[in-house]
Structure 1
Amino acid sequence: MRPAMDLIVQRPEGLYCPPGDFHIDPWRRVDRAVITHAHADHARPGHGHYLAAAPGEGLLRSRLGEGITLQTLAYGETLEHNGVRISLHPAGHVLGSAQVRVEHEGRVWVASGDYRTTPAGAVPDRTCAPFEPVRCHTFITESTFGLPIYRWRPDAELFAEINTWWARNAEAGRASVLQCYSLGKAQRILANVDASIGPIVCHGAVEPLNRAYRAAGVPLPETRLVTEVSDKATLQRALVLCPGSAVGTPWIRRFGDVSDAFASGWMQIRGWRRRGGQDRGFVLSDHADWPGLLSAIGASGAERVIVTHGSVPVLVRYLQEQGLQAESFETEYGDEA
Structure 2
Amino acid sequence: MVAIQLDRETTILIGQKTIVSGQSVESDITCVTHGHLDHWGGRKKPSIMTNETYNILRARKIGISNYLSAKHGETINPFGDIKITLMNSGHMLGSSLFKIETPELDVVYTGDLNTVETMLDRPAKVVNGEELIIEATYGAPLYKFGPRDNIYAQIVRWILKTIKEGFIPCFKVYSAGKAQEIIALVNRLLDIDVVVSQNVYRVSSVYKMTYPWMNFELIGSIESGEILRNGEFVYVSSSRSYVPTWKRTKWAVATGWALTSLFPEFDAAFPLSSHADFKGLLDYVEAVSPRKIFTLFGHSVTFAKFLRKLGYSAYALEEKPRVEI
Task: Please give the range of the TM-score, normalised by the shorter of the 2 chains.
Answer: 0.7 to 0.9
**Cα shift at 1:56:** 2.6
C-alpha RMSD of matched pairs (Å): 3.1
Of 267, 275, 294, the match for 1:306: 294
Alignment deviations for residues 279-320 of structure 1 (CA, whole Å, 9 cap, x no partner): 111110000001100011111110211010111221111100
Match of residue 237, structure 1, among 211, 226, 232: 232
Q: Single out whichever of 194-203 and 159-168 deviates more from structure 2.
A: 194-203
Aligned to 1:153: 146
Q: What amino acid sits opposite 1:16 in the alignment?
A: T
Aligned length: 313
TM-score computed with the length of structure 1 as normaliser: 0.83
Q: Quick one: which amino acid aligns to residue 201 of structure 2?
A: E
Q: Assess if the C-alpha contact under 8 Å between 1:175 and 1:235 holds in 2.
A: no
Task: Give distance in 2, aligned partners of 1:28 and 1:18.
Answer: 9
Structure 2 counterpart of 1:203, which letter?
S
Give the corresponding residue for 1:210.
204
Q: Is the 8 A contact 1:199 1:234 kept in 2?
A: no
TM-score by length of 2: 0.86
Secondary structure of residue in 2 paired with 1:102: strand
> For 1:257 and 1:24, how far apart are their aligned partners in 2?
51
User: Which moves more between the two structures, 36-45 or 288-297?
Assistant: 36-45
The CA deviation string for residues 180-204 of structure 1, in whole angstroms up to 9 with x for no partner, is: 1111111112222356442211111
Which blocks of at least 5 consecutive residues in structure 1 are unaligned?
119-123, 333-337
Match of 1:200, SS state, is strand
Q: Tell me what 1:265 maps to.
A: 256
Displacement of 1:277: 2.0
Greater relative CO (CA pairs within 8 A, separation 6+): 2
- Provide the residue aligned with 1:84 in structure 2: 82
Corresponding residue for residue 281 of structure 1: 269
Three-state SS of the structure 2 residue aligned to 1:262 is strand
Q: 1:16 aligns with which of 11, 24, 43?
A: 11
Query: What is aligned with 1:293?
Result: 281
In the TM superposition, what are the counterparts of 1:93-132 in structure 2 within 5 Å?
93-118=91-116, 124-132=117-125
CA apart distance, 1:240: 1.0
- When residues 10 and 57 of structure 1 are mapped into structure 2, their CA distance, relative to the original with a 3 A threshold, is closer
In 2, distance between residues paired with 1:91 and 1:306?
17
Mapped to 1, the partners of 2:100 and 2:255 lie a distance apart of 32
Cα distance in 2, alignment partners of residues 182 and 25 from structure 1: 28
Q: For each residue in 1:262-293, what CA deviation from the matched residue of structure 2 results, as whole angstroms up to 9, or x when unmatched?
A: 10001111xx22x4421111110000001100
The alpha-carbon distance between structure 1 residues 76 and 230, as it changes in their structure 2 partners (threshold 3 A), is closer
Percent identity at matched positions?
24
Q: Which residue of 2 aligns with 1:175?
A: 168
Could you tell me whether the CA contact under 8 Å between 1:10 and 1:329 is conserved in 2?
no
Runs of 4 or more, structure 1, over 4 Å off, are 5-11, 23-31, 64-67, 231-235, 253-256
Please point out which of 40, 45, 49 is paired with 1:48: 45
* Contact preservation (8 Å) 2:52, 2:206: no
Alpha-carbon spacing, 1:154–1:239, altered in 2? closer, same or farther (3 Å): same
Q: Given the alignment of the two structures, is residue 32 of structure 1 paired with residue 29 of structure 2, yes or no?
A: yes
